[in-house]
Structure formats: structure tokens, C-alpha cells
Homo-oligomer: A and B are copies of this chain.
């Protein structure tokens, strides 16, 4: 605790006095502007160091209309995904002198929430994860404030927009093909929340893999989940109760897979002996369950880092309008095994 008046920090004027130059020259040195003699620069830097001078962010922000602060918007605060994005973003921010303020958007009026958020903090940019990044009101709010944003895994990328994503389609196809390579033909898919880009693309990848292998798409083997544990158990229940039951389950994410796993344990169905289970995400959940999950490792931290790098370099770098697709990786765990006849 210990309240108390903020320490009087040295101002640019103090530095100028001590260095025997004008404040403008100090400003030039601090901002790495040209037209400063080396000798002068040294004098100023010495004074800065001696006084422990730190630029006042408010004054700077007021004058320059730049805050050096970015925002991170997301909806669901649970799980590793948002936290990892946050920490990736944070790491890159720190490296470049930026800071990050986070905001969780909830409920119906996300547009208003965004407006309030943006008007209260003058952010230099915003990054957002699904499903917030697919909310038109949120995007509109950003646009109306003229705040640049980068979307992570958006559902419908706008033309010319630079966004970041992984190839959910390819990843899901890989998983499905991997399961088929183990001999599985009856593969149950537990979908994620309807409408999510990930849900849609992963379903498409799953279907593409089946089709390529000449396996007929069976609606009984698709369960409408919600990325949560319980839906994994429900999905497993459906798939295992079929006349021709599934021998493998591809869950929408790790948590769902954990649910399926738990149901199997409950019913005495051996994993991976009688049932193979795959997850998606590669976070903590996939590592703490038993048996350790076969899953797709998303480069979640990297998503955050890259998003921030785009925002920060938006001004300088020539704006490439290509999406950045980051690599995923199929992690073979202990929850999948060859089908036994």
C-alpha cells in the first residue's frame, strides 16, 4: 500500500538545464531525431542518465497523439488460448517499448463496450481473438476511432486486410488423415461453437479428408459441441452408443477431448486401446490428462507476437496485404493407437 504523492520526476527542462541546451534539443535526442551534433547528444544523454529522466507519457501522448499502448480484446477469458496470445503480445510489446491493456468483452453490446474502451484509453492499436474479431460492431467501433486493428483467425477476412491465422482446414485434415492411417474409419467429430471460424474450417478439413479417402460422411458421427468439457462427454456418449460405434474421436479442442476421455474412462472403454481421441490446441489440458493427448499444437504465443508486430510496424513497413498463416504441428500423444480388428 503506502499511498503518497508521486515522486517528482525530472522533466525535460531539468535535463536541458543540466546539459546546457534547449529543451527542443533534448527532445530531439530522446526521439532519435537527426540534426544533433554527437557531442551535444552525449551531453544530453549524460544529463538524462544523471537525472534518471523518464519522459512523461501523458505529455507525450497529449502532444503526439500516440500512446505506445496497445489493446487486446477477447471474449472468453478461460483456457490457455487467450492467456497465451496475451503473453506473446506482451513479450513483443515489451521489446518495443509498448504496453498492453486488456479488456474482456461480454454480452450483447460489444460495440458500445469497445467504444467506451477506446475513448477512455487512447490506444495505438488493437488486436483481437475470435469470436470478438468477427463482431461487426466491434470492428465498426475501431474504425470510427481510426484505431488500427489486427484480427487473429477471423472468420471472413476482408479483402486486402492483413490478418493472422493458422490453417485450420489443413490441420483438421491432417488429424483426420492421421487417424485414418491408423486404420480408423469411424471417426467422430465433436464440433466447436457454431459460427466460429475454427469450427467451420475444421469441419471442412475433416470432410475433405474423408472424401479423399472415399469414406462417406456420416451425420451421426458429427456432434455439435461448444469447446467445453461436457460437450466432449456428450459427444463420446453419442458416438459410442451408435450401432456402428466410432473407433476414434476428433474433438474440437483439448478440453472437449478431455471430456470424451473422461466418458471413456467412466465406461471402461480403454484409450487408446478401444478408442482413439484427438484434441486441438496443444495447451495445458492436453498435457495433464491421461493418456496425454494427440493434438494440434497452435502457435498461440506466436499469434500474439505477430499480431503486435503488424500493429507496431504498420506505419513503417510496407503494408503487405497477405494474410500471415502460422504453422501448426500435429503432436502425437498417447491417446491414439492403431485400430485393432
What residues of chain A have their CB less than 8 Å away from a CB belonging to chain B?
Answer: 1-7, 9, 54, 56-62, 65, 67-69, 77-79, 82-83, 86-87, 90-91, 94, 97, 99-104, 117, 119-122, 143-150, 161-162, 229, 255, 258-259, 261-262, 265-266, 284-285, 287-292, 310, 314-315, 319
Q: Which residues of B contact A90 (CB under 8 A)?
A: 102-104
**A8 closest partner in B (C-beta):** B146
Q: Which 9 pairs, one residue from A and one from B, show the smallest C-beta to C-beta distance?
A: A58-B61, A54-B119, A58-B62, A258-B288, A262-B290, A265-B290, A101-B101, A6-B146, A77-B87
The residue of chain B having its C-beta at the shortest distance from the C-beta of A97 within the complex is: B120
Q: Are B319 and A145 in contact (CB under 8 A)?
A: no
Q: Is A7 in contact with B145, judged by CB distance below 8 angstroms?
A: yes
Closest to A232 in B: B288
B1-A310 in contact (CB<8A)? yes
Q: Do the beta carbons of A9 and B285 come within 8 Å of each other? A: no
List of B residues within 8 angstroms of A147 by Cβ: 6
Least Cβ–Cβ distance between A104 and chain B, in angstroms? 6
CB-based contact B145/A3 at 8 Å: no
**Within 8 Å CB of A288, what residues of B?**
229, 255, 258-259, 262, 285, 288-289
Q: Which residues of B contact A61 (CB under 8 A)?
A: 57-58, 61
Nearest-CB residue, chain B, relative to A144 = B7
Q: How far is the CA of A86 from the CA of B9 in the complex (A)?
A: 29
With a cutoff of 8 Å between Cβ atoms, the chain B residues found around residue A315 in the complex are 3
- Does B265 contact A79, Cβ atoms closer than 8 Å? no
- A65–B6 CB distance below 8 A: yes
**Contact at B146–A5, with CB atoms within 8 Å?**
yes
How many angstroms between the C-alpha atoms of A284 and B265 in the bound complex? 18
Bound Cα distance from A241 to B90, whole angstroms: 44
User: Are A104 and B87 closer than 8 Å at their CB atoms?
Assistant: yes
Q: A161: which B residues are within 8 A, CB to CB? A: 1
B148→A4 contact, CB < 8 A: yes
Q: Considering the chains assembled together, what is the distance between the CA atoms of A140 and B54 in angstroms? A: 18
Known contacts A1-B148, A145-B6: A69-B101 contact under CB 8 Å? yes
The docked-state distance in angstroms from the alpha carbon of A319 to that of B3 is 10
B residues within 8 A CB of A314? 1, 3
User: Would you call A284 and B79 a contact (CB within 8 A)?
Assistant: yes
Contacts of A162 in B (CB 8 A): 1
A121 touches B57 (CB 8 A): yes
B266 pairs with A284, CB closer than 8 A: no
By beta carbon, the residue of chain B nearest A54 is B119
Smallest CB separation, A126 vs chain B (Å): 11
Query: In the complex the two chains form, what is the Cα distance from A259 to B287 in whole Å?
Result: 9
Q: Please indicate the chain B residues that have their CB under 8 angstroms from the CB of A145 in the complex.
A: 6-7
The answer to whether B285 and A284 touch across the interface, beta carbons within 8 angstroms, is yes
Residue of chain B at shortest CB distance from A121: B99
Given known contacts A162-B1, A255-B284, A290 and B319 CB-to-CB distance under 8 angstroms: no
Task: Decide: B54 and A58 in contact? CB cutoff 8 A.
Answer: no
- A255 to B121 Cα, complex, angstroms: 37
A248 to B294, CA, bound (A): 30
In the bound complex, do residue A4 and residue B290 qualify as a contact, i.e. CB atoms below 8 Å apart? no
The complex places the Cα of A91 from the Cα of B336 at a distance, in Å, of 41
Q: A69 contacts which chain B residues (CB < 8 A)? A: 101, 121
- A120–B87 touching, CB < 8 Å: no
